[in-house]
């Protein structure tokens, strides 16, 4: 590290030998550079700011009904930015600003168009939370401020027409495409409907119900068969129970004629009265077991019993006994049992027919174990193809209607889609060149040139600054050294020279500060 430090000091001593020449060079380079910067022509900037209202109020009202034209317009704006600087548009701008008059030859015209394209700048800014670029700044730099203003006005008009023109052309292309696709899908959809109809007609008895397949139909048929067999078993048990009750009646009652069949109205009334008397007698016995004979309920039931006995037809009273009434009641029970038995037998026959029908269906389903799944698979395929075509057709029809509403919305808001935030104008102060920055660069370049020249001369005319450097470079033995003793005049001269050097540097820095203060 110390050796490197010594080497640096030796090199600085070598450079310091040419300090006068370096100061002169730095001063000359700085003055020449500043003079050149001062003579550079001013460049003025003309610009305008536009706001493109792609998210208009009408679009928000049509949200969910029409297509979101904001996203579509964003693509249109990006395309308009790219198409703004195309050759036809550049030629139009050149004609409107009379720039094509100076370009006589094809080479000059090409250079003019290339320079115009490189000088026109289009910058977009996002003004919404979604990051959509709606604010555009169009600018152009030129030495003549009036010419720059004319170019920006022409670019302003071309940009607006490009956006509206692209929107119209793309909308017409989209309408044509949608109409062609809808017609094709409509024809394919009709063919799919005809195939489904013919398939249903051919396989009418093998198609499952809505949301069913073969195995669900088979399981459903088994469930219905088990339910029908259970109902048949219940009906048979009811029939057998009625048969046992009928067999348990006395033989005389079963062998006697039925009352209602003989058509005796008195006996019919007698049957009703006898049944009522038996009920009242049972109730009276129950009340007498709990209360005394003077209890109001016992007295009331006894009176009802007497009135019922008095209403019996003549010849049926038996000193308060109801033997004939019991016989009539038994015959009534017999008739009811026979009626219920007939109904039970009819129910058994009906359930038997239902079971046979379900068994027949089960045999048919089990016999079609290979046919029905194939029919189901083909029907599923037809429905799937039909569903896909139908969804595509409905989507395209919806898009056509949405495009129509979006186009009408765009026609409504064309007048207000562009808002001029800042009209075309030109700055009063030049935007280029940046003389303060260039003056700083000139000063740095002057110091670099002076230092580089002094370094080059020190390498071309080297000297030895100390004994160690001489010994190391020559390999000779150095016996000693002789120092320089300056006189007072020489010392005064050396100090005066240092002051001149410092004064030159101060003058250079003062000139730099004056220049910076002027251009800032």
Please answer whether residues 375 and 206 qualify as being in contact, where contact means their C-beta atoms are separated by less than 8 angstroms: yes
Q: Examine the domain organization and report whether 24 and 67 are in the same domain.
A: no
Establish if 13 belongs to a structural domain: no
Q: Examine the domain organization and report whether 439 and 455 are in the same domain.
A: yes
Mean pLDDT in residue range 126-145: 75
Per-residue model confidence as pLDDT tens digits over 346-365? 888 888 888 888 888 777 76
* The pLDDT value given to residue 372: 65
**With bands split at pLDDT 50, 70 and 90, how would you rate the model's confidence at 179?**
confident
Please answer whether residues 341 and 243 qualify as being in contact, where contact means their C-beta atoms are separated by less than 8 angstroms: yes
* The pLDDT value given to residue 434: 86
Q: Examine the domain organization and report whether 89 and 67 are in the same domain.
A: yes
The CATH number given to whatever domain includes residue 66 is 3.30.1890.10
- In terms of phi and psi (left: phi > 0; alpha: psi -120 to 50; beta: otherwise), the region of 422 is beta
Q: Examine the domain organization and report whether 225 and 360 are in the same domain.
A: yes
* The pLDDT value given to residue 252: 45
For residue 125, the tally of other CB atoms under 10 A from its CB is 11
Please answer whether residues 100 and 109 qualify as being in contact, where contact means their C-beta atoms are separated by less than 8 angstroms: yes
Helix residue spans in 414-487 (DSSP H) = 435-460, 467-474
**With bands split at pLDDT 50, 70 and 90, how would you rate the model's confidence at 56?**
very low
> Is the model's pLDDT at 62 over the cut of 60?
no
Cα distance between residue 415 and residue 411, in whole Å: 8
**Burial code of 292-321, b = ≥16 C-beta within 10 A, e = fewer?**
eeeeeebeebeebbeebbeebeeebeeeee
**% of the chain exceeding 70 in pLDDT:** 72
Q: Is 134 helix (H, G, I), strand (E, B) or coil?
A: strand
Establish if 474 belongs to a structural domain: no
**What is 248-289 written as a DSSP string?**
TS-HHHHHSPPHHHHT-HHHHHHHHHHHHHHHHHHHHHHHHH
* Phi, psi for 430 (deg, rounded to 5): -65, 145
> Is the model's pLDDT at 264 over the cut of 60?
no
**With bands split at pLDDT 50, 70 and 90, how would you rate the model's confidence at 65?**
very low
Q: Examine the domain organization and report whether 60 and 35 are in the same domain.
A: no
Establish if 283 belongs to a structural domain: yes
Task: Point out the least confidently predicted range of 113-122, 149-158, 463-472.
Answer: 463-472
* The pLDDT value given to residue 160: 79
Q: Examine the domain organization and report whether 122 and 173 are in the same domain.
A: yes
Establish if 125 belongs to a structural domain: yes
Q: Is 383 helix (H, G, I), strand (E, B) or coil?
A: helix
Shortest CA distance to 29 belongs to which of 516, 508, 515? Answer: 508
**Average pLDDT taken over every residue of the chain:** 76
Cα distance between residue 406 and residue 70, in whole Å: 10
Higher pLDDT pick, 520 / 67: 520
Give the total number of structural domains in the chain. Answer: 3
Establish if 75 belongs to a structural domain: yes
Q: Look at residues 367, 384, 414 and tell me which one is the last residue of a structural domain.
A: 367
Per-residue model confidence as pLDDT tens digits over 409-465? 555 545 446 678 889 999 888 888 888 889 999 999 999 998 899 888 888 887 776
Mean pLDDT in residue range 313-336: 55
Q: What does DSSP assign to residue 237? A: H
Establish if 272 belongs to a structural domain: yes
Q: Which helix (H) or strand (E) holds 390?
A: helix 371-413
> Is the model's pLDDT at 32 over the cut of 90?
yes
Higher pLDDT pick, 146 / 126: 146
Q: Examine the domain organization and report whether 116 and 92 are in the same domain.
A: yes
Q: Look at residues 352, 367, 382 and tell me which one is the last residue of a structural domain.
A: 367
Q: Look at residues 323, 346, 367 and tell me which one is the last residue of a structural domain.
A: 367
Per-residue model confidence as pLDDT tens digits over 273-296? 666 777 777 778 778 777 888 888
Establish if 376 belongs to a structural domain: no
357 is written with which tokens?
């029908």
Q: Examine the domain organization and report whether 336 and 414 are in the same domain.
A: no
Q: What range does the domain containing 447 cover?
A: 18-40+433-462+482-519
* Phi, psi for 158 (deg, rounded to 5): -65, -40
Establish if 362 belongs to a structural domain: yes
Contacts of 403 (CB under 8 A, 6+ apart): 67, 171, 174, 175, 178
Per-residue model confidence as pLDDT tens digits over 479-501? 777 766 778 887 888 788 888 88
Shortest CA distance to 334 belongs to which of 441, 443, 415, 258? Answer: 258
Contacts of 261 (CB under 8 A, 6+ apart): none
Tell me the β-bridge partners of 52.
418
Mean pLDDT in residue range 510-517: 88
Per-residue model confidence as pLDDT tens digits over 142-175? 889 999 999 999 998 888 777 666 555 556 666 7
Q: Examine the domain organization and report whether 409 and 439 are in the same domain.
A: no
**With bands split at pLDDT 50, 70 and 90, how would you rate the model's confidence at 269?**
low
Q: Examine the domain organization and report whether 220 and 89 are in the same domain.
A: no
> Is the model's pLDDT at 375 over the cut of 90?
no
Q: Examine the domain organization and report whether 412 and 441 are in the same domain.
A: no
Q: Examine the domain organization and report whether 443 and 338 are in the same domain.
A: no
> Is the model's pLDDT at 52 over the cut of 80?
no
* The pLDDT value given to residue 445: 92
* The pLDDT value given to residue 133: 60
Task: Point out the least confidently predicted range of 190-204, 326-340, 382-396.
Answer: 326-340
pTM confidence score: 0.45
* Phi, psi for 126 (deg, rounded to 5): -85, 130
């Amino acid at each position: 590290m110390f050796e490197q430090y010594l080497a640096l000091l030796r090199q600085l001593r070598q450079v310091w030998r040419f300090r006068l020449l370096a100061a002169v060079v730095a001063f000359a380079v700085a003055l020449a550079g500043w003079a050149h910067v001062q003579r550079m022509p001013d460049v003025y900037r003309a610009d305008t700011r536009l706001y493109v209202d792609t998210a208009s109020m009408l679009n928000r009202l049509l949200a969910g009904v029409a297509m979101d034209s904001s996203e579509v317009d964003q693509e249109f704006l990006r395309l308009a930015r790219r198409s703004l600087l195309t050759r036809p548009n550049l030629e139009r701008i050149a004609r409107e600003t009379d720039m094509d008059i100076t370009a006589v030859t094809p080479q000059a015209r090409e250079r003019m168009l290339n320079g115009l394209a490189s000088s026109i700048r289009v910058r977009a800014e996002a003004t919404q939370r979604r990051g959509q670029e709606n604010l555009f700044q169009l600018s152009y730099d030129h030495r003549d401020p009036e010419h720059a203003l004319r170019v920006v006005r022409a670019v302003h008009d071309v940009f607006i027409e490009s956006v509206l023109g692209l929107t119209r052309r793309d909308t017409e292309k989209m309408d044509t495409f949608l109409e062609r696709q809808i017609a094709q899908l409509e024809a394919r959809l009709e063919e799919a409907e005809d195939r489904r109809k013919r398939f249903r007609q051919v396989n009418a008895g093998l198609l499952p119900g809505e949301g069913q397949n073969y195995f669900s139909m088979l399981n459903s048929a088994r469930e219905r068969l088990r339910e029908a067999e259970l109902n048949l078993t219940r009906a048979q048990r009811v029939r057998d129970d009625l048969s046992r009750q009928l067999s348990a009646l006395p033989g005389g009652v079963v062998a006697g004629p039925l009352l209602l069949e003989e058509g005796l109205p008195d006996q019919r009334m007698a049957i009703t009265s006898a049944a009522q008397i038996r009920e009242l007698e049972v109730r009276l016995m129950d009340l007498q077991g709990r209360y005394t004979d003077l209890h109001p309920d016992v007295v009331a039931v006894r009176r009802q019993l007497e009135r019922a006995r008095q209403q019996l037809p003549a010849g049926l009273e038996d000193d308060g006994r109801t033997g004939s009434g019991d016989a009539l009641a038994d015959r009534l029970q017999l008739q009811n049992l026979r009626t219920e038995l007939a109904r039970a037998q009819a129910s058994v026959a009906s359930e038997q027919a239902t079971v046979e029908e379900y068994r027949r269906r089960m045999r048919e389903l089990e016999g079609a174990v290979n046919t029905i799944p194939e029919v189901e698979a083909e029907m599923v395929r037809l429905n799937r193809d039909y569903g896909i075509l139908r969804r595509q057709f409905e989507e395209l029809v919806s898009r056509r209607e949405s495009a129509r509403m979006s186009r009408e919305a765009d026609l409504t808001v064309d007048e207000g889609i562009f808002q001029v935030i800042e009209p075309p104008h030109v700055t009063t102060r030049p935007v280029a060149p940046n003389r303060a920055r260039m003056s700083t660069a000139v000063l740095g370049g002057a110091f670099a040139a002076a230092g580089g020249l002094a370094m080059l001369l020190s390498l071309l005319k080297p000297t030895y600054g100390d004994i160690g450097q001489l010994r190391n470079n020559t390999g000779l033995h150095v016996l000693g050294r002789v120092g320089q003793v300056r006189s007072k005049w020489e010392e005064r001269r050396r100090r005066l020279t240092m002051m001149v050097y410092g004064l030159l540097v101060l003058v250079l820095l003062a000139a730099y500060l004056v220049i910076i203060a002027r251009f800032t």
